[in-house]
Amino acid sequence: MEFGAERRSDELFRAERVSKSYGHIQILHDVSLVVPPRSIVGLVGENGAGKTTLFNILTGLTRPDAGAMHYRGEPYSPRAYNEAFALGISRVFQEQALVLNVPVYENLVLSQESRFTKFGQLIDRAAMISVAERIIDDAGLDIDVRRNAGAYDFSKRQAIEIARACMAPRHLMGIADPLVLLDEPTSALDRQDERTFIELLARMRQHASFVFVSHRLTEVRELCDSILVMKDGRLSAPLDPAAADEKVLHGLMVGRERADDYYHVDRQIDVDGRPIVCSVRDLSGPEFTNVSFDLRRGEVLGIGGLLDSGKSALGKAIVGVHPPLGGSVALDQAPARKPNIRNFVRNGLGYVPAERLVEGIIPSLSLAINLSLPSADHFSPYSLWRLQKERAAAAAAIRKFRIRSGSPLAPLQNLSGGNQQKVVLARWLQRDLKALVLDNPTRGVDAGAKEEIYQHIRLLTEQGVGIILITDELTELIGMANRILIMQRGRIVAELPGPREAKPSEHDLIPYMLPSAA
């Protein structure tokens, strides 16, 4: 990509030959990009391709080894995130960054409180509320800024973060047309909330420019003016979304064409007559009521529904992460009992949570330690931890799951989100499983890594493991499941078969998910 020395009117931001290495590992190779004013530039690529490192450099969290950046025609080289924000470049992270137990207005002016002091000491809360209300009004949101952020659901909190990134520079610093970096903002949204997000972003582009990272290629093609593909730290030339279909993008991202049988439906097992490995009876909790079903050996039982359907809370209750208020779960031939996670893990039940950073990993600890978390009985049979065995198991998992880490001793926080997710899944393959509960196992994972995870799920079913697959992705639910349960407002409202030769469509499922179908 060639650049002139002067700022052009169609350039808000540009980077020239930006490079970054960590030790002997080259993360970014001469990356160059241009962001025009009031545009949406899509950025796609496999986990570990370098997208997060590029965002870290653009927001001052990481210093590049080489290259130059210009913003609004001036040299740009931030030394910290608050410096980038003060200049008008902000970021919406994949994991939400709101403080849930304080009001929305405090979140909207976070780190800028000094602008609202009287006599250098007293906080002018009325002024903070006034500015916050202007931010929310300009974003077109129906939100009471005096309520705590935690009072709103995930989708509304995501909208608050986007409003802060787009409108706070205008109202706090007088900066029009800021640059906003969106890092997987829709990864935890269901289909209905995804549409709300797309509509919000379409409105916000009147006030800001965006670089939008997402693994949902359909929404990237729908929203973006151009698309850049990053592979192994190198960036492609801009692609026209109208000409770059999902198959083309997938091929550029992973270096091969997407398989026609993406979900490996041909490996789906006929489970009729097979033994039951998990029996749920009359399970109830704060978010669900009287849920009952059986899971057979080798079956993938899909559970779908909107974000407020109670499906994730059900998954936590089945394994005993959050003990239910009533009901029981029987594992294999064991007696039915109230779920207890310690006993269930010991007896062959595994669980992959939806929120890996909150519930799935300890980021500061090594890959090897994170892999061994549920397997203390395996690595310390006589109360002596067998480090060599743990590290050998980690090295084997790195090879088997193609985890990009470099070493079993690497802190997990140094890995991309998709590679962290592989670690969370890989840890259960070291145990003798009977059943595995997966809550959105491919959230925040690129298309190539998704296909690998689907292959591992099919391998587990071929070994007789029963899978409970809770997911917001309808195509994943349809492609992977032998049978689909739809939840609405805490109850199972429909059961649909999903045989290899007669999969239901999204149109078959959606009516059961919406309140009008109840």
Q: Looking at 221, 254, 287, which one is the last position of a domain? A: 254
289 found inside a domain: yes
293 found inside a domain: yes
The string of pLDDT tens digits covering residues 344-398 is 888 889 999 987 777 778 888 888 888 887 776 666 665 556 677 778 878 887 8
Which residue in this structure is represented by tokens 């850049």?
228
The string of pLDDT tens digits covering residues 151-181 is 988 778 888 888 888 888 888 888 888 999 9
> Is residue 389 located within the same domain as residue 330?
no
Q: What's the pLDDT score for residue 4?
A: 37
How is residue 357 written in tokens?
Answer: 């950073």
Report long-range pairs for 344-347 (Cβ below 8 Å, ≥24 apart): 344/319, 344/320, 345/319, 345/374, 345/431, 346/377, 347/434
Q: Looking at 254, 288, 315, which one is the last position of a domain? A: 254
Higher pLDDT, 400 or 311: 311
Could you write out the DSSP letters of every residue in 419-444? Answer: HHHHHHHHGGGGS--SEEEEESTTTT
Whether 75 has a pLDDT exceeding 50, the answer reads: yes
The string of pLDDT tens digits covering residues 497-508 is 999 999 999 889
> Is residue 336 located within the same domain as residue 366?
no
Distance CA 309, CA 181 (A): 30
Q: What's the pLDDT score for residue 147?
A: 94
What secondary structure letter does DSSP report for 205?
Answer: T
93 found inside a domain: yes
For residue 293, the Cα-to-chain-centroid distance in whole angstroms is 28
CB-CB contact of 325 with 333 (8 Å): no
Q: Domain tally for the chain? A: 3
With a pLDDT cut of 90, the percent of the chain lying above it is: 42
- Over its C-alpha atoms, the chain yields an Rg (Å, rounded) of 24
Q: Looking at 384, 404, 431, which one is the last position of a domain? A: 431
> Is residue 65 located within the same domain as residue 162?
yes
Where in 226-274 does DSSP place strands (E)?
226-231, 234-235
Of 122, 116, 5, the closest CA to residue 68 belongs to 5
With a pLDDT cut of 70, the percent of the chain lying above it is: 92
Beta bridge partners of 180: 90, 210
Residue 399 belongs to domain spanning: 361-431
Mean pLDDT is highest, among 199-203, 230-234, 478-482, for 478-482
Distance CA 44, CA 230 (A): 6
Whether 206 has a pLDDT exceeding 60, the answer reads: yes
Alpha helices in 174-204 (DSSP H): 191-204
What secondary structure letter does DSSP report for 186?
Answer: T
What secondary structure letter does DSSP report for 215?
Answer: S
454 found inside a domain: yes
> Is residue 336 located within the same domain as residue 391?
no
> Is residue 194 located within the same domain as residue 294?
no
The string of pLDDT tens digits covering residues 416-448 is 777 888 888 888 877 788 999 999 998 877 777
**CATH number where 458 lies:** 3.40.50.300
> Is residue 30 located within the same domain as residue 94?
yes
> Is residue 145 located within the same domain as residue 200?
yes
What secondary structure letter does DSSP report for 80?
Answer: S
262 found inside a domain: no
The string of pLDDT tens digits covering residues 2-55 is 333 344 557 899 999 999 988 777 889 999 999 999 999 999 987 778 888 999
> Is residue 154 located within the same domain as residue 214?
yes
> Is residue 437 located within the same domain as residue 387?
no
80 found inside a domain: yes
Residue type, 499: P
Task: State pTM to two decimals.
Answer: 0.65
Could you write out the DSSP letters of every residue in 439-503? Answer: ESTTTT--HHHHHHHHHHHHHHHHTT-EEEEE-S-HHHHHHH-SEEEEEETTEEEEEEE--TTSP
Burial class (CB in 10 A: 0-12, 13-18, 19+), 171: middle
What secondary structure letter does DSSP report for 267?
Answer: G
> Is residue 136 located within the same domain as residue 241?
yes
> Is residue 141 located within the same domain as residue 199?
yes
CA atoms within 13 A on the CB side of 369: 11
354 found inside a domain: no
439 found inside a domain: yes
> Is residue 395 located within the same domain as residue 323?
no
Beta bridge partners of 278: 295, 331
